[in-house]
Each structure stands twice: as C-alpha cells, then as structure tokens.
Amino acid sequence: MQATTTSFGIEEALEQLGIKDLNHGTSTGNKWFPGGEEIASYSPVDGALIGKVTATTKEEYEQVITSAQKAFLSFRAMPAPQRGEIVRQFGNKLREMKKPLGKLVSYEMGKSLQEGYGEVQEMIDICDFAVGLSRQLNGQTIPSERPGHVMREQWHSIGIVGIISAFNFPVAVWAWNTALAWVCGDVCVWKASEKAPLCSVACQNIIAGVLKENNLPEGISSIINGDYNVGEMMTTDARIPLISATGSTRMGRIVGGKVAERFGKSLLELGGNNAIIITPTADLKVVVPGAVFGAVGTCGQRCTSTRRLIIHESVYDKVRDAIVGAYKQIVIGNPLDESNHVGPLIDKESVETYLKAIEKAKAEGGKVLVEGGVLEGEGYESGCYVKPAIIEAENSFKIVQHETFAPILYLMKYSGDVENAIDMQNGVAQGLSSAIMTNELKEAEKFLSFAGSDCGIANVNIGTSGAEIGGAFGGEKETGGGRESGSDAWKVYMRRQTNTVNYSDELPLAQGIKFDL
C-alpha cells in the first residue's frame, strides 16, 4: 500500500481544457458571466489548489434561464436527426479531449486515471447512443374502437432540463442526461457539484465550441455553479419542467419534494446499498475481482459500489480468506499513476464519515478483518487517503443499513436456500444495484424473477459496479425510481401526447355513447 508521487502532466491537461486559476462558473454557450463569491477546488490527490470558479448570482441565473427559454423555441423546431448531428460532433470533440478531460476527472475527483478515462468514454458512448436515437424517437399507432378513426401517440420536447450532478461522476452523469435531452429537443442547465466544479467548466468549453461552429443559440447548454442555494433556484423554478438530480437520498428527498410542490417532473438517481450474493457453486475466479473492484473502485464512492457480501455458510471461510488475501495486493496512491488501484476520498469530511462508520460497526459487534485507517507520509499529504476495510457484520446493524460513501465492505453469512440470501439483499432501504455469483441456473433465475432482487440493476456473475450505457440506469425504493442513459430512458425528457383523428363523415363517440341532436 505505497504511494507514488510524480508529475503526470496535469498542468498541460488544464491548459488544453481552458482551465485557469480563476474561472467564471456561469455560462450560456460561449457567453460567460463574472459571478459572485469564489469557490476553490482542491485536489484530494495532493491537496493542491487546482483553480477557482465564481458562484452564480441570482441575476445571472435569471439571464441563464432567459437564454435557455429563447434557445428552446428554435432548437425544438430543428429536426431530431440534425440535433443528433450536433451531439455527434460533441462526441468527436470528446474523443479528441479524452486524455486531458480524463486527467482532470481523476485529479479533481480522485478516482484512478483508468476510471477517469472510462468516465469520458461513457460520455462518448452516450453520444453515439443518442445519435442513433435521434432517428428513433418513435410514437405508435393505436387501434381505435370507432370506425373511421385512428389514434396515435407522439412525443414532444419538454423544455429546459435542470441537471444536478454529484462529485463522484463529475462529467458522465451530465452527459447521460444532456446527450439524450439534446436529441429530444430540450436545452440543459447544469449545476455541478461544488466539490468538482472545474469539470463543468471544461465540458462547457468543449460544447460551446460546437455550438459556435454550428451557429446555434448559446442557451442550448448552460452551466451554473454554487452551493445548495443555487440548486434550489432550479428546483423551485416552474420554468424548468424536469429536474434530474443525482446524489444522496437526503438530497433527493429535498429536491423531489420541492419539484413535486410545483408539479414538475423529477428524475432521481440516489443512494445504493449494494450486495453480492455468493452461493456454494460460485466461481472464485469471478467472485474475487468482481467483489474487490466493486468495493474499492473509486475508493468506494460509486452509487453502485459493493457494500455487502452475503455468503453461503458452506463457502464462507473460503470466500472470506480469498477476499482478505486480495486486499493485501491493493496499492493505494496517486490515482494519476496507473500502477495504483485506489486513490483518495474526495475530502476530509468524507474521511471523518469513513472513520465514524468503522467505529459504529465495531460498537454494534462487527469484527474487523482488514483494518481501516488514514494513510500518512510521503504521497499522502492531502489527508484523504484511507485503507479499504473489511468487517464481519449482521445485515441488521444500523450502520450496515446506512450507505457509507467509502471503501468499507461488510461480510455476512446466509444459510439454507438462495431465497434467504435474497431476503437479506432486499432488506435495506435502498434498491440500486445487486448481483449473484452462482453456476446454478435455478438460483440465477430466482434472483432475476419477480420474487428476486428488488433493485433496478440485477446482475449474474458480474459485480454491482460498472454499468453500460445501453441499459436504463437507476433503482427503486430510496434510490429514487429514476432512470438515466439507455433503453427507453429518453422518454422522461419528453412529454407524451395522444392524438385521435376522425377521417370519417360521422362523429361516433367512444364507449358507444349516444348524443343525438
């Protein structure tokens, strides 16, 4: 668990992305506003100040929304395939900027460089998906019970989409939303996490160039920055019909409530408390990498991170020893060094949360198998590097029932049939991602059945983390019920309309009702 401290060209990456010492944090297209108070972004990698952004003022927010409203009127009239062409160009720009943007993601957020590159690749992938989708925003024809009538269903652009994203995926989640919203004819206003604001500035620099090259309205893409007060400007604004918010369950309750009060739509993708069930027939060659990456990838700061391993008692000791042994091989250090597996937590507040969670687990009777703690010394000066911990626990522990955004993995036993493990898996308030490791077909199908996992994502013989963009992403219960990315998630960014056309010379009523004059 040694750190590596060398330079990895972050200065060059910042220059390529147009990131300065002080950056405007409010923009519509190429137009930037001076902003109010400054927000500093410190890297959890080395504690260095990367840069600052200015927070959005109330007056600037009003200008952003006015610009977005104006842009929507013309953008929705553009044929969808032409909107797809804009997204295609954006995807190509991302290909050109993958390395510098991936480095910024890694440096500002703290995830490994490979994960930083992977996050930008997700942006590219969703652009490709959206380009194809731009020719498939299909409604349907519905048989009418009345002669000489036809019913149709079609989809229309919804308007301004407000996007609130979290620090752990500082660019990909925005792209999931905005690429689909753009091909649907919507315009987007993005409030990034104040813990990773420079990523939003970099992305806006990239899309602003595409909009300018195509002589398109600035308000198609806008960013705002600031704390929860800036986010509240959007959640309470009736001019924004849809708010897509990614973050904690606590945040989702606030956002969902505010938006519901004004009868707006919410897309909520919130917390997870994800488990892998390991059955007697599970293949350890699959179990170990799936469980370990799920637990320690992004330093446990993914909403799909593996929090619980539910292991059959007959193989518990073997699986436990294999997982504990694998943890000894984890290398923690500068995430820009690709030889390191795990980088830092996002900030010292998260470190405190991690330490308190371990103490709570001990107090409830948990047995520590791999000791946690904060790393010190050369390469760990930021104070944000921690050791991934493993704790034997019970599913009923209060701390186990709570999602801790840190690399803490709880191990627990189940006995009897797989139904008992499924009950444990479902026995938490969250419902995002889940997995089962088994070579028994019946167990896999039970896990995937109506009586199986209650999560939005249910995997067989892969871990809980690492979703592809082709499937709808999201979960149930306190995860919020929203769906982003693939499948038919595009429908949330549009309004549905049912049409009935009478092409006959009569006016028959539905349900056989007679109304003769």
pLDDT of 329-374, one tens digit each? Answer: 999 999 999 999 999 999 999 999 999 999 999 999 999 999 999 9
What band does 7 get if pLDDT is binned at 50, 70 and 90? low
What band does 516 get if pLDDT is binned at 50, 70 and 90? confident
* Mean predicted confidence (pLDDT) in 192-198: 97
* Mean predicted confidence (pLDDT) in 14-21: 97
Instruction: State the pTM of this model.
Output: 0.96
Task: Say whether pLDDT at 4 is over 70.
Answer: no
Task: Say whether pLDDT at 3 is over 60.
Answer: no
- What pLDDT, in 10s, does the model give residues 135-155? 999 999 999 999 999 999 999
Let me know if 341 is exposed, middle or buried by CB neighbors in 10 A (0-12, 13-18, 19+): buried
What band does 88 get if pLDDT is binned at 50, 70 and 90? very high
Please identify which of the residues 188, 299, 303, 384 carries the catalytic annotation.
303
What band does 2 get if pLDDT is binned at 50, 70 and 90? very low
Question: Is residue 269 flagged as an active site residue?
Answer: yes
* Mean predicted confidence (pLDDT) in 35-46: 96
Name the percent of the chain lying above pLDDT 70.
99
- What pLDDT, in 10s, does the model give residues 269-283? 999 999 999 999 999
Question: Is residue 445 flagged as an active site residue?
Answer: no
* Mean predicted confidence (pLDDT) in 312-318: 98
Tokens of 304: 């799909």
Residue 142, Ramachandran bin (φ over 0: left; ψ between -120 and 50: alpha; else beta): beta
Q: Are 68 and 219 in contact (CB under 8 A)?
A: yes
* Mean predicted confidence (pLDDT) in 179-193: 98
Q: What is the pLDDT of residue 467?
A: 87
Task: Say whether pLDDT at 517 is over 90.
Answer: no
Tokens of 389: 């911990």
CA 143 to chain centre: 39
Q: For the stretch 107-125, what's the b/e string if a residue is b when 16 or more beta carbons lie within 10 angstroms of its beta carbon?
A: bbbbbbbebbbbbbbbbbb
Mean per-residue pLDDT of the chain? 96
Q: What is the pLDDT of residue 214?
A: 98
Q: What is the pLDDT of residue 265?
A: 98
Task: Say whether pLDDT at 228 is over 80.
Answer: yes
Q: What is the pLDDT of residue 206?
A: 98
Please identify which of the residues 269, 403, 443, 478 carries the catalytic annotation.
269
Residue spans of alpha helices (H) in 195-331:
197-213, 228-235, 249-261, 284-296, 316-327
Can you give the length of the chain in residues? Answer: 517
* Mean predicted confidence (pLDDT) in 229-249: 97
CA 399 to chain centre: 23
Name the percent of the chain lying above pLDDT 90.
97
Q: What angle do CA 301, 443, 295 make, to 5 degrees?
A: 15
Query: How far is Cα 203 from Cα 196, in angstroms, rounded to an integer?
Result: 12
- What pLDDT, in 10s, does the model give residues 457-505? 999 999 999 889 999 999 999 999 999 999 999 999 999 999 999 999 9
CA 471 to chain centre: 13
